[in-house]
Chain A
Amino acid sequence: MAYLQLKQFRKQFGAVETIKGVDLSIEPGEFVVFVGPSGCGKSTLLRLIAGLETVTSGQLMLDGRDITHAPSSKRDLAMVFQSYALYPHMSVYENMSFALKLAKVSESEIREKVERAAKILNLTAYLQRTPKELSGGQRQRVAIGRAIVRSPKVFLFDEPLSNLDAALRGQTRVEIAKLHRELGATTIYVTHDQVEAMTLADRVVVLRDGKIEQVGTPLELYDKPANQFVAQFIGTPQMNVVAAAQMPQAAAAYGLPVAADGFIGLRPENLAVLPAGQGQLSGQVELVEALGAETLIYVSTDSGAQLVARQNSRSALSAGDRVGLQLQPETVHLFDAGGRVTRTGVAVAATH
């Protein structure tokens, strides 16, 4: 029996079904990330678990207890909101102790718990301040602290980093990961950023249009995407997915068993850029992005396919140069016309 179990969750808003039958099992201590494009229903799913919305049908079990119809206040879940939702009229200390006060915990125990959480999050100096007097990053930590203090069964995070600037985002991501290691608490984390998903998750749940597309560890999703959507959602830059018709030479040259209306998927790091004339494909450089540690080369093939290649070395190429392209056939993913994967590529270590 999983720690947290969702059975056939369905949610309808009026005539629109936003969650279309979701089943999920989460183990204790797991860090699960819900990821997907906007409108896929990930936040709705989180709010259903939190009890802030009621399911139209389905069942939710937590640690053996059926909490499908329990009110939010009784589910023993803690949520960190995207906008932090701190109580503006209370100090940091009061914000963090609010839930415990409601649970009638003793003053001394409250103080102990709050101070411990504050120490972990470096908030000790700010305990008497009000949210107005804090920076965005500090407020975020208070929001997290408010959740930690309760030692809930499951932590729920709703896009906590999206309101932070880029530098702070990276930093806080690392802190959240460290926090999870220290506390070992079961966590559900919602984000649209697949980098956060890849780095923080034990398992990733990819959602689209209210349905789960695939569940797996980050690398599983990266190496073995179940369909085109997941393949292109995970990984930056995006996997090159090209209609088979646009790369006839590739299919022929490598004997790839791809249907005429199917698609070929190729990760940028599995595409090598060679001098013109070499390789199975030829094309023209559109753009070169030099990122320092790696270089991205955007190429437009002669048959009209737009590809991105990634290499670890600097490149002397510039827009307009003619080049040749070579791919490693065993790394290629093949999809049918409906986007389902028909052959998964094998991951190999980057050779260039």
Chain B
Amino acid sequence: MPTTTSSTLPTVETAPADILLAPRRFPLALVVRTLVAWLVTLLLFFPLGFLIATAFKTELQAIAVPTEWLFSPTLENFHEVQARSDYLLYATNSLITSVVSTVLGLMIAAPAAYSMAFFRSKRTRDILMWMLSTKMMPAVGALVPIYVLAQQSALLDTRTGLIIVFTLSNLPIMVWMLYSAFKDIPPEILEAARMDGATLWQEAYKVLLPLGMGGLASTGLLCLVLSWNEAFWSLNLSSAKAGTLATLIASYASPEGLFWAKLSAASLMAIAPIVVFGWFSQKQLVQGLTFGAVK
């Protein structure tokens, strides 16, 4: 068979396996991509960045038009927010309700996910779908009954009431995420533990837990975020005593007086914990967030 001479073939650069779809002429492609990516990112981050900046301005600076881009930062807004509306109380409520509802949710969801992942039956998928569908009903639809129930059982404006509601709201998602995570664990490893003499509890504690830690972590993280940011039930079921940060922010929403700098500061104080938390845990979170979207 005749062989073609290499001089007639275009030179083929071997691209690193990671460069997925980049055209082959770099570094120009790289520069363009970098610029575009950064531009888009900055545009998308801008609102948040602006919020952060405004929190450190004085009120006058905040409403200045055109916007003052350069200014000397001040912490006066944060002090005032704390003084005026007891940030710490609301923050504590947010923290407690988020954490407790997450832990509670994990405790209920994990056994269910375990059973669905390792003891599959014909109805497993239907049950999963049903669980998700319970989440689709607008919370507003349950507002009246839940409000009445909460009132009757003296759970209005209590942390307990909020915890119960948060847990139940997040339960379907938690079951789904844990189920996806557990499915990735080879069942033989659990069978090996069984053969080695482990009871169900030992199997779960010594083998399943370490192996499923990633999934548990990301599920817990997501639930934490969802509970922290939960506004609907917080606004309707709580106020002065058990109010969460969402309630705090809503109280700043009334249009009387445009205290933008303070609003920004309050907002920042409300979202900062969870945003920073999200930054640090994003890798873990993403792993679990795929919901089995990624094989």
Contacts and interface: CB of A to CB of B under 8 A. Distances in A.
Query: Is A in direct contact with B (CB under 8 Å) within the complex?
Result: yes
11 contacts: A52-B194, A79-B191, A79-B192, A85-B189, A86-B192, A87-B192, A89-B211, A99-B196, A99-B197, A146-B196, A150-B196
Given A87-B207, A102-B196, 15 more contacts: A52-B191, A52-B194, A73-B195, A73-B197, A73-B199, A79-B191, A81-B188, A81-B191, A83-B188, A88-B211, A98-B193, A98-B196, A99-B196, A99-B197, A102-B198
A89 B210 contact: yes
- A-B interface, 9 closest residue pairs, ranked by CB to CB distance from nearest: A99-B196, A85-B188, A85-B192, A89-B210, A72-B194, A73-B197, A102-B197, A81-B188, A79-B195
Contacts of A103: 197
A327 interface: no
B191 A72 contact: yes
A200 interface: no
B202 A102 contact: yes
A293 B189 CA distance: 44
B196 A71 contact: no
B192 to A, nearest CB: 4
Interface size class of A (residues with CB under 8 A): 20 to 34
Nearest to B203: A73
A74 B197 CA distance: 6
**Interface of chain B: mostly helix, strand, loop or mixed:** helix
Contacts of A102: 196-198, 202
B199 A85 contact: no
Contacts of A51: 194
A82 B191 CA distance: 12
Contacts of A88: 189, 211
A77 interface: yes
Interface string B174-212: 000000000000101101111111110010001100110
Contacts of B211: 88-89
Interface in A63-85: 71-74, 77-79, 81-83, 85
Contact of B195 (A50, A82, A83, A87): A50
Nearest to B210: A89
Contacts of B199: 73
Nearest to B195: A79
Given A83-B186, A88-B211, A89-B210, A73 B194 contact: yes
